[in-house]
Every structure is written in structure tokens, then in C-alpha cells.
Amino acid sequence: MTNIRGILFDKDGTLIEFLGLWKAIALGLVEELIHSENPIVKEKLLESIGLVQDEVRPASILSSGTTKDIEEAFRQVLIDEQINFPEPLHQWIESKIFELTKQNIHAIKPVADLNTLLTRLKQNGLKIGIATADDQETTLLTLNLLGLTHYFDFIGTSDFYNKKPHPHMMEAFCEEVGVAAKEVVMVGDTAVDIAFGRNANCQYMIGVHSGAGQSQDLVGADFVIPTIADLVDVNNEFIWEKAVSR
């Protein structure tokens, strides 16, 4: 091992498969919000958060924004289209995302064998955390469904901490587990995750291709790998250790 003592993961697109679940959530939100057959308004709402022609734009609200960001985007479209909406809208969105997550349990899939990977990280003495744009209730639902909650020493969500790329979640993780940011690796699938790691002065930023981000979104990363399964090899050597040993 090097001086790395902690690893902080983004959730959707990094630990959990992204597109299937969040496409279903976005479509469900829009359907329940306007109860209308007006395809133009539905398209505007979906585009406002980054779902365009069944694809999620890498630098969009859906890929790395919060429920508050979704609320602000939807609110503007609804006002422009003179469509009534429930208030408080933010609370309605939070509740619906939680319900839609439960309804789409089949779409909640890990990107790799997380039990094996997280066990290996723990066995190597690493503190493990999550820094996600999602809310706590939905995050815990997802982790509990997959039986993963017990692996994490810290779970940072945007309803309790400043959203990424503000370093608040990294600071809280370091304080909670007793490590310095320079002893932490940040792993994520978007440019926001890489900027977050940089703003927090962590040791390494690792980008993964398993989520919404494309290669150009991860150019600031120290390492870019297909999925988090590639963090450690069969010889129990971490990707950052390989780089140091060369």
C-alpha cells in the first residue's frame, strides 16, 4: 500500500448502473407531474434535466445534479408553459423519486461484484465512503436493497451536504473516519466528480467509464478505468500502486 487510507465513491454510474434506473425515474416524474398527453411539454421537461432521445447528456442535471436542480429546471418549464404543479415541488420530487426507485428495483444493478471489491478494500484497511448528488432516503434504499450499507463508513448525500464539486462531503468524510484528504482516492464517472476531488485536494482522482461521463469529461483524472472492478488486480495491487512502482 501507499499512503492511501480512504476511498470515496460516487454512487450512480460508479457503484450502481446509471441509465436504466434514472431513465425510468425521469420518465416517471414527467408522467406523474403533468398527467398530459402533450409530447412537446414532456420533451421540454426531460430535456431540461438532460434526457434527450433516450440518452443522458454527460454534463446534465440527470447525470450529476440534485433533486433541487431537478426542481428548478422543471419549475421554469412549467411556469413557461403555464402548467400548474404541486407545491412544495422539491418535496414532491423527492417523494416521487423514492417511490419510483422502489418501483424500478429491477433496474438497480451494481456495475461489478461490489461485495468482493468492497470486502477487499476493507481487508486492506481502507475507509470507504459515498459522495452522491442523490438524497439520503433514496441512497439508503438502494444500498439496503443490494445489501451494501454495512461496508460504508460514511454516506454523504446532497440533502445534508453541499453538492459536488464543493468539497464539503470530502471534508466530512475525512473528519468522520480520521484521514486527511491527501490520503483519499476519489472515484466517479463525471467531470463533476473529478472537479470535486480536485477541489478537495485528494491524492488521486479516478474516472470510470461505467456511467454518464465520456472520455473528454474525465481528462482531469489521474487514472481512467472501465469500471471500479479494475481498481485492484488479482494480485491485490491497486491501480495507484502500479503507477508508483513503475
Asked whether residue 99 falls in the same domain as residue 119, the answer is no
| Residue 193 Cα distances to 56, 70, 89, angstroms | 17, 18, 27
Ordered DSSP codes for 101-169: HHHTGGG--BSS-HHHHHHHHHHTT-EEEEE-SS-HHHHHHHHHHTT-GGG-SEEE-TTTSPPTTSTHH
Which of 47, 80, 106 is the last residue before a domain boundary? 106
Domain residues for the domain of 236 are: 6-17+109-245
CATH number of the CATH domain containing 183: 3.40.50.1000
Domain annotation covers residue 23: yes
Which of 58, 83, 106 is the last residue before a domain boundary? 106
How many other CB atoms are found less than 10 A from the CB of residue 106?
9
Asked whether residue 186 falls in the same domain as residue 122, the answer is yes
Asked whether residue 222 falls in the same domain as residue 137, the answer is yes
Confidence of residue 246 (pLDDT cuts 50, 70, 90): very low
Question: What value does the mean pLDDT take over residues 109-113?
Answer: 94
**Contact residues for 225 (Cβ-Cβ < 8 A; gap 6+):** 206, 207, 208, 209, 231, 239
Asked whether residue 13 falls in the same domain as residue 23, the answer is no
**How confident is the model at residue 243, as a pLDDT?**
64
Asked whether residue 116 falls in the same domain as residue 96, the answer is no
Asked whether residue 114 falls in the same domain as residue 203, the answer is yes
Work out how many domains the chain is built from and give that number: 2
pLDDT in tens, 174-232: 999 999 999 999 999 999 999 999 999 999 999 999 987 777 889 889 999 999 999 99
How many other CB atoms are found less than 10 A from the CB of residue 163?
21
Which of 75, 106, 137 is the last residue before a domain boundary? 106
Asked whether residue 135 falls in the same domain as residue 50, the answer is no
**How confident is the model at residue 1, as a pLDDT?**
44
Domain annotation covers residue 41: yes
Domain annotation covers residue 160: yes
Asked whether residue 47 falls in the same domain as residue 75, the answer is yes
Domain annotation covers residue 128: yes
Strand order in the sheet with 154-156: 154-156, 127-131, 6-9, 184-188, 204-208, 223-225
Asked whether residue 134 falls in the same domain as residue 197, the answer is yes
Confidence of residue 241 (pLDDT cuts 50, 70, 90): confident
Domain annotation covers residue 1: no
Domain annotation covers residue 84: yes
CB 49 within 8 A of CB 61: yes
pLDDT in tens, 131-180: 999 999 999 999 999 999 999 999 999 999 999 999 999 999 999 999 99
pLDDT in tens, 9-65: 999 999 999 888 999 999 999 999 987 768 899 999 999 999 998 888 888 998 889
Q: When comparing pLDDT for 243 and 237, which is higher?
A: 237
Asked whether residue 228 falls in the same domain as residue 197, the answer is yes
| Residue 218 Cα distances to 25, 40, 195, 206, 222, angstroms | 25, 33, 9, 8, 9
Domain annotation covers residue 202: yes
pLDDT in tens, 50-107: 999 888 888 899 888 999 999 999 999 999 999 989 999 999 999 999 999 999 999 9
Asked whether residue 132 falls in the same domain as residue 144, the answer is yes
Domain annotation covers residue 175: yes
What is d(CA 96, CA 102) in angstroms, rounded to the nearest whole number? 10
**How confident is the model at residue 57, as a pLDDT?**
86
Residue 244 has pLDDT above 70, yes or no: no
Asked whether residue 218 falls in the same domain as residue 118, the answer is yes
Is the full-model pTM beyond 0.75? yes
